[in-house]
Chains A and B, each alone.
Chain A
Amino acid sequence: MTTALAVTDARAGGMPAQRRRRFNTDRAWRWLMLGPALALLIGLTLLPLAELCVLSVSNVSWHNGRPLLRGVGLTNYAGLAHDALFLAAIRNTVIFALAAVGMEVVLGLALALALAAVRRGKDAYMTIFMLPILLPGIVIGAIWALMYNPDFGIINASLALLGIEPHDWLGTPALALGSVVAVDIWHWTPFCFLLLFAAVESLPTDVFEAARIDGASAWQRCRHVTLPLLLPAILVVLAFRAIIAFKVFDEVYLLTSGGPGTATEVISLTIYRRFFIEDNAGYGAAMSIAAFVALGTLIVLLMLLVQKRAGA
């Protein structure tokens, strides 16, 4: 990376004309090449966010596809604190993220350690475990909606074999969030597994050899050598996965649409409902900005924390 295309310490002053020309063309090239990315980032992330900020302090009505804005100050933001649906969504999203991510990292770690311990069939296991990561969330929702179906679903049918009575898994308020978490665990455990497996594979082998020679059992090696070495990777995966969990939308949309009542309402769903279904763009925009700022802060904090731990 030290070998550079541009002339490194070129301060235009004392350079011969040819080198100066080259320096200038290089500057043009680097802007030209970064241009498309900058255009996308500015035009489709920064500008829209600015637009959302404007909408969020307005009352919006649509006329022939054009938004008509009437300034209302911070009323929209003030409304958030009293919006029962929004508050339920925050509560559910936090519970959802904690429960799902905790299970996913534990199961993913177990799978990664188990796969590292076997010799044969690695490729086949890998292929199977990776499948859920690559599927459309909405299709995963559709598959599980059929499996949860109280009339003919496989889940009630299998539980009946064990003598457990059937439940309406998605239609019962007390069970719905747990049922959605179960689907998320099925969907995302493979992702945690994949990242942790890469970490396990990159561990140095000599410490294990040393521990083995010293007579440590498999369990002792895992507990006192592997896990401490893996801790930084585990923290990274936890942070990364927790952030992604806050995006959840697809499966919940298909499985329960937030119901019954507000049992499975999550933040993305509430924004969608307020902005698009109820056509309340100003209020929906305020909600989006609030979510964006809260999550953005959380992300930056987590990144700094992880970086600090990795550096230490």
Chain B
Amino acid sequence: MRRDHTGLLAHAFLMVAALCFLGPFVWIALAAFKTQIVLLTSQIWFHPILRNFYDVLFSGTSDYRHQCADSLIIAAGSTLLDLAVATLAAFSLNRMQWPRWCSILLIGWTAVFHMVPPITLAAAWYAMFRPIGLDNSYTGMILAHATINLPITLWLMLSFVAELPGEILEAARIDGAMPGQILWRIVVPLVRPGLGAAAVLAFIFSWNEFPVALTLTQRATVTVPVGVASFAQDHEIQYPQMAATALLSILPAVVLLLAARRLIVRGLTVGAIR
């Protein structure tokens, strides 16, 4: 009887919290279907329109589709690069007899630069990329985002590689397999969940990243967050379009969350707890 009481209280608290987290989305979704006038006059009953989404996606003055393509290219490119680099590094660090101080130094350094403000790195990259023409290019952005997301993908892959049973690798080795073969034929298939978690997180974080994108991109490679930010600086803000853009920009995260929640939870907790 007493436990039911606690359970009810807990449910009530969780419901209130869930409302607080979902409320803003409901309100912004409603705003996206309103006209500017309806929104500004705070009418409760209104005739929903699709005009805002149409304008954001298809009007001649909107760059949103272009920005989505840029974000997609940069996020996909940096994610693939991270997966390859992190898997190789995790296997090497964890299974190939590096002295302990080597891995501590390397992992410690990723921890430090993971935690300093990205704007400091962005300033350095700008000064380095501009003379060689890498600013405002996909290559520069892919390299930058791959670097920013390397710590979390590396920690994640390290935790998955460390869980592999040593006997399998040893058996393959006695049969004469080279380290490259062992990695490709045995390790990669076994750490597929880790690769999935790392891919989802690296993609989302690249899609979301703002300070580096703001400073390293100009017209040609503007990403979605930079596009959203420019809304807020317009002189006459089209609020409903801003709401529609915000709603569209969170779709990838929502889809990935619904599809791969367990992987994401694992990825986020591993990255932080290590």
Interface, chain A (partner B; CB < 8 A): 1-6, 8, 25-26, 29-31, 33-37, 40-41, 44-45, 47-49, 51-52, 55, 60, 62, 65-67, 110-111, 113-115, 117-119, 121, 123, 125-139, 141-147, 149, 151-152, 154, 157, 186, 190-191, 194-195, 198, 217-218, 236-237, 240, 243-244, 246-247, 249-250, 253-254, 267-268, 271-272, 275-276, 281, 284-285, 288-289, 291-292, 295-296, 299-300, 303
Which of B45-53, B54-62, B188-196, B222-230 lines the interface with chain A?
Answer: B222-230
Are B24 and A195 in contact (CB-based, < 8 A)?
A: no
Query: Across the interface, do B253 and A135 meet the contact criterion of CB distance under 8 Å?
Result: yes
The distance from the CB of A192 to the nearest CB of chain B, in whole angstroms, is: 10
- Residues of A near B111 (CB, < 8 A) are 299, 303
Closest to A136 in B: B208
A130 to B243, CA, bound (A): 21
Contacts of B225 in A (CB 8 A): 136-139, 250
Are A65 and B133 CB-contacts (below 8 A) given A29-B179, A137-B208?
yes
For residue B138, CB closer than 8 A to chain A, the reply is no
In angstroms, how far is the closest chain B Cβ from the Cβ of A138? 4
Task: Kindly report which residue of chain B lies nearest to residue A284, judged by CB atoms.
Answer: B123
Cβ contacts under 8 Å, B268 to chain A: 133, 191, 194-195
The reply to whether B92 and A125 contact each other, CB–CB distance below 8 Å, is: no
Given contacts A118-B10, A143-B28, contact A285 B123 (CB under 8 A): yes
CA distance A67 to B132 in the complex (A): 11
> Shortest CB–CB separation between residue B32 and chain A, in angstroms?
10
A5/B210 contact (C-beta < 8 A), A48-B125, A118-B7, A142-B232 known: no
Given contacts A4-B97, A37-B86, A147-B28, 11 further A-B contacts (CB under 8 A): A1-B94, A3-B170, A30-B96, A44-B144, A45-B109, A52-B124, A127-B257, A127-B261, A247-B118, A249-B118, A268-B118
What's the Cα separation between A5 and B115 when bound, in Å? 33
Q: A284 → chain B, closest Cβ, in Å?
A: 6
Nearest CB in chain A: distance from B84 CB, A: 7
* Residue from the set B17, B110, B117, B225 with the largest chain A CB neighbour count within 10 Å: B117
Whole-angstrom CA separation of A151 from B7 in the bound complex? 41
8 contacts between A and B (CB under 8 A): A37-B85, A37-B89, A65-B130, A114-B9, A115-B14, A117-B7, A139-B249, A249-B117
How long is the Cα–Cα vector from A47 to B21 in the complex, in angstroms? 42
Cβ–Cβ contact B14 & A114, under 8 A: yes
Chain B 142-180 per-residue mask, 1 if CB under 8 angstroms from chain A, else 0: 011011001000100000001000110110010000111
Whole-angstrom distance between the Cβ of B198 and the nearest chain A Cβ = 14
Q: Chain B contacts of A151 at CB under 8 A?
A: 40
A295 x B115 contact (CB < 8 A): yes
Q: Which residues on the A side are within 8 Å of B246 (C-beta)?
A: 139, 142-143, 146
Which single member of B123, B166, B228 contacts A3 (CB below 8 Å)? Answer: B166
Is there an interface contact between A145 and B232, defined as CB atoms closer than 8 Å? yes
User: Which residues B229-274 have CB closer than 8 A to chain A?
Assistant: 229, 231-232, 239, 242-243, 245-246, 249-250, 253-254, 256-258, 261, 264-265, 268-269, 272-273
Q: Is the CB of A117 within 8 A of B119?
A: no
- B112: chain A residues at CB < 8 Å are 296, 299-300
Find out whether the CB atom of A48 lies under 8 angstroms from the CB atom of B89. no
Contact between chains at A149 and B239 (CB < 8 Å): yes
Q: What residue of chain A has the Cβ atom nearest to residue B24's Cβ?
A: A143
Chain A CB within 8 A of B1 CB: no
Select from chain B the residue with minimum beta-carbon distance to A54.
Answer: B127
Q: Across the interface, do B204 and A134 meet the contact criterion of CB distance under 8 Å?
A: yes
A67/B208 in contact, CB under 8 A? no
The residue from B123, B162, B257 contacting A52, defined by CB atoms under 8 A apart:
B123
Q: Is the CB of B169 within 8 A of A281?
A: no
Smallest Cβ-Cβ distance to B224: which chain A residue: A136
- A-B pairs, top 8 by smallest CB distance, nearest first, are A3-B166, A48-B124, A37-B89, A33-B92, A30-B96, A136-B208, A288-B120, A6-B97
Residues of A within 8 A of B180 (CB): 29
Assembled-state Cα–Cα distance A87/B233 (Å): 26
Q: Does B185 contact A (CB under 8 A)?
A: no
Name the contact of B211 in the complex, choosing from A52, A145, A249 (C-beta under 8 A).
A249
A272 and B211 in contact (CB under 8 A), knowing A195-B272, A195-B273, A250-B225? yes
Residue B11 at the A interface, CB < 8 A?
A: yes
Within the complex, the shortest CB–CB distance from A217 to chain B, in Å, comes to: 8
Chain A residues with CB under 8 A of B89: 33-34, 36-37
Contacts of B11 in A (CB 8 A): 118, 121
Cα–Cα distance between A12 and B189 once the two chains are bound (Å): 34
Q: Considering the complex, give the chain A residue whose CB is closest to the CB of B132.
A: A65
0 or 1 for each of B82-93: is its CB under 8 Å from A? (1 = yes): 001110110111
- Taking CB atoms, residues of chain B closer than 8 Å to A291 are 116-117, 120
- B27-43 near A? 1/0 per residue, CB < 8 Å: 11001000000011110
A194 to B273, CA, bound (A): 11
User: From A151, which residue of chain B is reached at the shortest CB distance?
Assistant: B40
Provide the residues of chain A in CB contact with B92, threshold 8 Å. 29-31, 33-34
- Which of B20, B154, B167, B258 lies in contact with A186, CB distance below 8 A? B20
